[in-house]
Chains A and B, each alone.
Chain A
Amino acid sequence: MSAIEKSGDIGAALPRRKIDFAPALLPFLIALVAAPLIGSTSTFVTLTFASLAMGLMLFTMASGFTLVFGLMDVLNFGHGAFISIGAYMATLVFAPLILWSQAGSLGLNLGVIFLAVAVAAIVCGALGLVFERLLVRPVYGQHLKQILVTTGGLIVVEQLLYALFGPDTIPLALPTALRGAFVIGDAAIEKFRLLAVIVGLVIFAGLSLTLNYTKIGLLIRAGVENREMVEALGYRINRLFLAVFMAGSALAGLGGVLWALYREQVHASVGESLTVLIFIVVITGGLGSIGGCFLGATLVALVANYAGFLAPKIALVSNIALMVAVLLWRPRGLYPAGGR
């Protein structure tokens, strides 16, 4: 901060940004509506916490997609490939460290997860670089070609995973110390879900702080709005694009590890199956916005879990219904980049 700013003689009279709270209240509103329908307090708490954990895992996987679209205007339908790769990296790390993961020590268990996350993030980040250079860069500005090329990339990666790891689902056991649940009253808070919530919140806080309080973050936000002007100010936005793409891929890989542990199994099509859910999250939250992605993921998870409990037959369409309702209210999503 410069001396002028410290003097307090600056920015004295101003209309501050009005914070739009309405969308942020939606999760609470949905929970309020669902609570009496569910009836049991303990079931409600268990479902809500499970939703929070699922939402934060979805957020981790979707945040890279929304940043890549917002900044680069790239529709990366191959984003799910990095989720699958991340999930397989977990199996590769867990297999030789089975003694660590099956030991009763929380430290050793977390160490295995940390290693898996690190390996997945590094591998997916590096593959993201290759993916961007080979597939995405030639089709900048051409949405139809982006969809075709990146979908092709997803299929190729999926088939490569089948070829390398086989067509069968690979089981992935949770580390010993993360099995089971904390029981509070009659509500069960699964230990791994608690870890997923903590990791998701740390990622959300890290991304939010980076975007709002660092120059890189300012550049990304400015690039989302007007990349040509960012270049005219002297910044090489292509490098920024590449860094964001790699970071987005790494986050997808990290999310893939969490999802694989959450489902306790890995399959080559895990990324593809999550892609539709990620689209719903990103469109509901508003393209290009981390806050919107966080809110969208939370809403999607809440609606999926509550609907799955209350009316399993409509659970399959509940997220589509949520997205349609949100878009009817806010056609650009709840918190799109650049405001409404």
Chain B
Amino acid sequence: MSALLTLSGVHTHIGRYHILQGVDLDAPEGKTTMLLGRNGAGKTTTLRTIMGLWRASAGTVTFAGQALAPLATPAIARAGISYVPETMAVFSDLTVRENFILAARDGPLDDARLQWIFGFFPALKKFWLSRAGSLSGGQKQMLSIARAIVEPRRLLLIDEPTKGLAPAIVGGLIECLREIKRAGVAILLVEQNFRVAQEIGDEVRVMDNGRIVHEGPMAALAADGALQNRLLGLSLDAHQ
């Protein structure tokens, strides 16, 4: 499978801090690639650099053959990338419906697409006219992801979607992400929960100190406790 997204030697500075120190990463078309690593490894910075929210000071970011580095964030989004930040960033003063309307930048909301989304997240249908700020944390996360898929996109960047969510909600979220992948969308997903990563990841990239230190199939990492321990400071057994 060819790489949809490729980062080569990407460096990012935030103020005087040198966060990404030569990231080489690829995300294959139509697959879910997990981006793992300890806190502070540079995972969120990687996603934000891809979106152009922080500018790369060196290196190249290529999406579907197009160089992203010269583009501003709106142009990167319009190239076909959706971003779900760790903070969810729903517009709390707007209703669920209005959040959807803004996300559907190419035209009116599509009924079939809405039904598809409501299939995963029935709560959003229920609270359609409620202020997003009045939703629970899990519902906000659902809205944040739904907003990213309200129109077809080629790549989703998702930052820690299960953080702070109840296990029952996490299960639904995993199923949703699988369905999105089945629809042919590539996903680059930052996740701290290794069990979740194991369930939905096809590929894995592990970061440490602003670099990719491991890449390969998720199944191989899941099967190798020693490697998990070395890369992430955990083993699946310990995590269970």
Residues of A participating in the B interface, judged by any CB pair closer than 8 Å: 2-5, 9-17, 215, 218-219, 221-222, 224-226, 228-237, 337-339
Q: Is the CB of B134 within 8 A of A15?
A: yes
- Residues of chain B in range 56-81 having any CB-CB distance to chain A below 8 Å: 72-74, 77-78
A10 to B126, CA, bound (A): 6
- Residues of chain B in range 95-114 having any CB-CB distance to chain A below 8 Å: 96-98, 101-103, 105, 108-111, 114
A2 to B134, CA, bound (A): 24
Least CB distance from A226 to B in Å reads 5
CB-nearest residue of chain A to B51: A232
Find chain A residues with CB under 8 A from B96 CB.
Answer: 11
28 contacts between A and B (CB under 8 A): A2-B109, A2-B110, A4-B114, A4-B115, A5-B128, A11-B97, A11-B125, A11-B128, A11-B130, A14-B126, A14-B128, A215-B101, A218-B101, A221-B91, A221-B94, A225-B92, A225-B93, A226-B89, A229-B89, A231-B73, A232-B73, A232-B85, A232-B89, A233-B147, A235-B102, A337-B93, A338-B93, A339-B133
Q: Is the CB of B91 within 8 A of A3?
A: no
Find chain A residues with CB under 8 A from B220 CB.
Answer: none
B83 at interface (Cβ–Cβ under 8 A)?
yes
Find chain B residues with CB under 8 A from A5 CB.
Answer: 97, 128
B120 at interface (Cβ–Cβ under 8 A)?
no
Least CB distance from B236 to A in Å reads 33
Question: If A226-B89, A226-B91, A234-B78 touch, does A2 touch B114 (CB 8 Å cutoff)?
Answer: yes
Find chain B residues with CB under 8 A from A14 CB.
Answer: 126-130
Find chain A residues with CB under 8 A from B91 CB.
Answer: 221-222, 225-226, 229
Least CB distance from A308 to B in Å reads 36
A232 to B72, CA, bound (A): 10
Q: Is the CB of B126 within 8 A of A236?
A: no
Q: Is the CB of B94 within 8 A of A2?
A: no
Contact of B77 among A2, A3, A231 (CB under 8 A): A231
The 6 closest A-B pairs by CB, nearest first: A11-B128, A234-B77, A11-B129, A229-B89, A231-B73, A14-B130
18 new A-B contacts at CB < 8 Å, known A14-B126, A233-B147: A2-B111, A3-B111, A9-B125, A11-B96, A11-B125, A13-B126, A14-B128, A16-B129, A17-B130, A215-B102, A218-B102, A221-B93, A226-B91, A231-B72, A232-B73, A232-B77, A232-B89, A235-B74
Least CB distance from A150 to B in Å reads 25
Least CB distance from B126 to A in Å reads 5
Least CB distance from B87 to A in Å reads 9
B53 at interface (Cβ–Cβ under 8 A)?
yes
